[in-house]
Amino acid sequence: MTDFPWPRGSATGIGSLPGTDIAEAQRIVLGELPDLPHLPELPARGPGADIVGRGAAFLVELPVELYAARWRVASRPGRDHRRALDLLERDLDQMTEQAGEFDGTFKVQAAGPLTLAANIDLALGGRVLRDHGAVRDLSESLADGLRAHVADVRRRLPAATVLLQLDEPSLPDALAGRIATESGLYTYRSIEPSTASSLLRTVVEAAGAPVVLHCCAPDVPLDTIRASGAAAVALDVSLVDKLDPLGEAVDAGMGFFAGATGTSKAVADRVRGVWRQLGFPDQRLPDQVVVTPACGLAGSSLAEARRALTAVREAAQRLGET
């Protein structure tokens, strides 16, 4: 049995929460998810706190700027890039203040290379995704930045085990050639699965920490994710319609971050039901499975978000008693 870098019977959040108060958000996470807390993301604060702006803040020697409400590659770092870095620094400072003595597993999140390539424009127009050489450069830049980020978090939380989550909501569409051009009349050519795995592996191997690859879209490409070297996959169990690829990934030793919504009992029943459909023994579930909300909670009210985190924590406790 593989030793997983998280406690048995644990739950965590996907990342985003509502509101603009990072101190309050971090307190909620540490209170509701004590076994596997994470660094909250608050996109309601605006550009630079969104998934693309925050992810672009990790790029090394590849500055970005806002133009016509879209992120694009810039010739030099400017106000938008500095704002994203400043928001990140504030969040890390709050994490350090509240969790500096934490000695368990702590998770941080960042957009993955395919999602950034599908959502950042080149300086001359068109997504980075249109130029596969530029996608490779972006992946290497992100790998350098996340290596430094993980090392920084480890310095700030010296007793903790750091876990990195890569968010890849655009991965299925990039593989299927469904990313639309600016006109909406055409789509960018698809990324080959082997190329996507290589791009992801560039980041995974550089991170210096176990990586969870998260995708809450339909058609999660589990073979591609497995080939990336990620330690775990995070997905919305309600969107899983093909169990064999998931079963093969779990059987190969990947962790499974199972996303579900509802009351604690409903979440536990849903996760247990999928696990039993996969054909694995109940006793193995609390070690290999981490319970999460189905996706980020930025669109919820603060009360709803808190209830969702409470539900997954209590569901994980139910499953841990299996």
Q: Which amino acid is at 61?
A: E
| pLDDT given for residue 2 in this prediction | 58
Residue 120 near residue 64, CB atoms below 8 Å: yes
Query: Could you give the CA distance from residue 240 to residue 145 in angstroms, rounded to a whole number?
Result: 32
In 25-100, DSSP assigns E strands to 64-67, 70-73
- Report if residue 61 sits inside a domain: yes
Q: Which domain holds residue 181?
A: 46-228
- Report if residue 297 sits inside a domain: no
Pairing of strands 64-67, 70-73: antiparallel
Give the number of other Cβ atoms within 10 Å of residue 30's Cβ. Answer: 17
- Report if residue 68 sits inside a domain: yes
What is residue 47's three-state secondary structure?
coil
List, in sequence order, every residue forming a beta bridge with 234; answer none if it has no partner: 214, 257
Q: Which residues have a Cβ under 8 Å from the Cβ of 20 and sit 6 or more positions away?
A: 42, 44, 45
pTM: 0.96
Query: Could you give the CA distance from residue 18 to residue 41 in angstroms, rounded to a whole number?
Result: 8
Q: Which two tokens stand for residue 24?
A: 């309050």
- The full length of the chain comes to 322
Residue 260 near residue 234, CB atoms below 8 Å: no
List, in sequence order, every residue forming a beta bridge with 120; answer none if it has no partner: 71
Query: Could you give the CA distance from residue 18 to residue 264 in angstroms, rounded to a whole number?
Result: 21
- Report if residue 281 sits inside a domain: no
Angstrom distances, CA of residue 286 to CA of 8, 98, 159, 215, 257: 5, 27, 24, 21, 11
pLDDT in tens, 125-169: 999 999 999 999 999 999 999 999 999 999 999 999 999 999 999
What is residue 265's three-state secondary structure?
helix
What is residue 134's three-state secondary structure?
helix
Query: Could you give the CA distance from residue 29 to residue 306 in angstroms, rounded to a whole number?
Result: 9
pLDDT in tens, 75-108: 999 999 999 999 999 999 999 999 999 999 999 9
- Report if residue 79 sits inside a domain: yes
Backbone angles phi, psi at 13, to 5 degrees: -95, 160
Residue 233 near residue 204, CB atoms below 8 Å: no
- Report if residue 54 sits inside a domain: yes
- Report if residue 145 sits inside a domain: yes
Count structural domains, the chain. Answer: 1
Q: What is the CB-side half-sphere exposure of residue 225 using CA atoms within 13 A?
A: 32
Q: Give the chain's residues under pLDDT 50.
A: 1
- Report if residue 275 sits inside a domain: no
